[in-house]
Structure 1
């Protein structure tokens, strides 16, 4: 029954929102965001706790202002994702503006693969649709979650945008091996990589505190020789902006583990700067820093598994384990 209700809710969103006038859809999702924000549930409180690390100088009023804007940004992601099937290529080209794409284009045109690594900011699905519309299809990973037909619908939707989606489990495919093969073929892989769910990620300093991030993007690049390019995303009025940053190059010294650590930290530093500039567009409504996690998680004792929900996002990959992440 729960699976049927979840599927019905998402299916209604896809069906109804595609036909609503855009101002009406935007107004509806702003009202949903404001309602959730006023209720001050655990997601909103956690968002404010995270924003307090990003903006330590902010007083209570400023944090409330940021969290309200953050909830509106988060719900805008959902509204746009539901309506993306009816966006024309011209609309995507108009409402997505990307800086630094020439360096990615040059890398791919030279025959070298590239890993695009993103945080949970802005709208990564819309950014992916823009990249694919420019003639550069890519591969990503999705966690197989229940209800199964909703997962299939999300996959079909992403594939319609020009993405190759690998199921994390149950697909009979070696995910890490396939990603590595795509990179060696000179293709692109896109991964969301700011949140680690495996308890086996790389510990980094992020806004002055310890957290873990997946090793996957950096490890894949070391394994295949692909370029690692972090990306930051944010909203600017009606426009989604993206900045493709210069390649994170492995250090000349050290073993593979040390090089991976340095690359993940460098990537985290890039994301921190982007999030600091646009904190309201970082959709991190979960516990993120190690200091906020239950003791059993920080010391490596398995925690109870949370109930799974569909997470419609480009996913993150660890090595050798693979995790999915989403809003």
Structure 2
């Protein structure tokens, strides 16, 4: 096949990916000029529309929030919480895009933290620390805040399409957050980060392929076993943590003390203890948990 024809055929796709990156950067500038209240108000109808239009995600969410609330999935309160979660996710996405226009000092003014002494004590041991977090609040704000404070922190993240990935990574790195791309090389990168006494943040409440079986809100679920596996392998501290919104555009981070890990402990019971804490975090603020895909075994 003519190489020129292949190049010409691939050009539209490349242009679309470049447009994504340009749109992300332009969106950051537009959102910066938009009052916070307006941004968050605009997310409400958008999130509600997403809730109603995406039948598969709506059905999964109703199942998940029914379990979290301990109610029947037909209960109106379950639908109300699920709908608000979609709206809060929309607000989080706006804040994520806005990050592209913030200086570190501006981001730090938007985030507060409790339990930082637990992280400091863990790092004093010299073996690194794993922050195990659920899909709540804005994990990008939380990780970038830690980087802006001067902590050497790495976060595992999925790859965005094309040049958008470069733009997002550039934003994260501007706050001191190192990005480990999810993939075959991630295990080695995480291990090396912990051996260098860094903080590694891992989202681990939703199924992402092979994992470990746990009881989550009284039902069987599969969650990533990475936090437990790395803690057992490297001796790193394992810290359950969460982040949540406290006002439009503002977030708070909570850090638990590290879990006590016994010699010879297995991944499954250790991850169960992480999930037990996640249940507490989620039940306090169920509409800030973003669980829009099937979680539980039948």
Q: TM-score, normalised by structure 1?
A: 0.78
- After TM superposition, the structure 1 = structure 2 runs for residues 95-174 of structure 1, keeping only pairs within 5 Å, are 95-145=110-160, 147-169=161-183, 174=185
Counterparts of 1:309-324 in structure 2 under 5 Å? none
184-193 or 21-30, which moves further after superposition?
A: 21-30
Give the structure 2 partner of residue 318 of structure 1: none
Per the alignment, residue 300 of structure 1 pairs with none
Residue 17 of structure 1 is matched in structure 2 by: 31
Shift of 1:137: 2.6
Q: 223-232 or 39-48: which moved more?
A: 39-48
Please name the residue that 2:3 is paired with. Answer: none
In the TM superposition, 1:1-327 aligns within 5 A as 4=16, 7=20, 10=24, 12-39=26-53, 41-57=55-71, 60-145=75-160, 147-169=161-183, 174-198=185-209, 200-238=210-248, 239-252=250-263, 254=264, 259-291=266-298
What CA RMSD, in Å, does the superposition of the two structures yield over aligned residues? 2.3
Compared with structure 1, are the counterparts of its residues 191 and 40 closer, same or farther at alpha carbon in structure 2 (3 Å cutoff)? closer
CA pair 109-250 structure 1, distance change in 2 beyond 3 A: closer
Structure 1 contact 251–259 (Cα < 8 Å) conserved: no
C-alpha distance in structure 2 between counterparts of 1:251 and 1:106, whole Å: 18
Question: Any gaps of 5 or more consecutive residues in structure 1?
Answer: 292-327
Uncovered stretches (5+) of structure 2, i.e. residues with no partner: 1-11
Q: Distance in 2 between matches of 1:79 and 1:114?
A: 29
Task: Tell me the SS of whatever aligns to 1:286.
Answer: coil
Query: In structure 2, how many angstroms separate the alpha carbons of the residues matched to 1:35 and 1:103?
Result: 41
Distance 1:232 1:20 in 2: 28
* Alpha-carbon distance, 1:38 to partner: 4.3
Q: For the residues of structure 2 that align with 1:21 and 1:29, how far apart are their CA atoms?
A: 13
How far apart in 1 are the matches of 2:181 and 2:106?
Answer: 29
Contact 2:113–2:253, Cα closer than 8 Å, also in 1: yes
**Change in CA separation of 1:158 and 1:266 when aligned onto 2, cut-off 3 Å:** same
The alignment partner of 2:266 has SS state of helix
Structure with max Cα Rg:
2
Deviations 1:134-175 (Å, cap 9, x if unpaired)?
A: 110311223335x321222222221122111123348xxx43
Aligned residue pairs total 282
Structure 1 or 2: larger helix share?
2
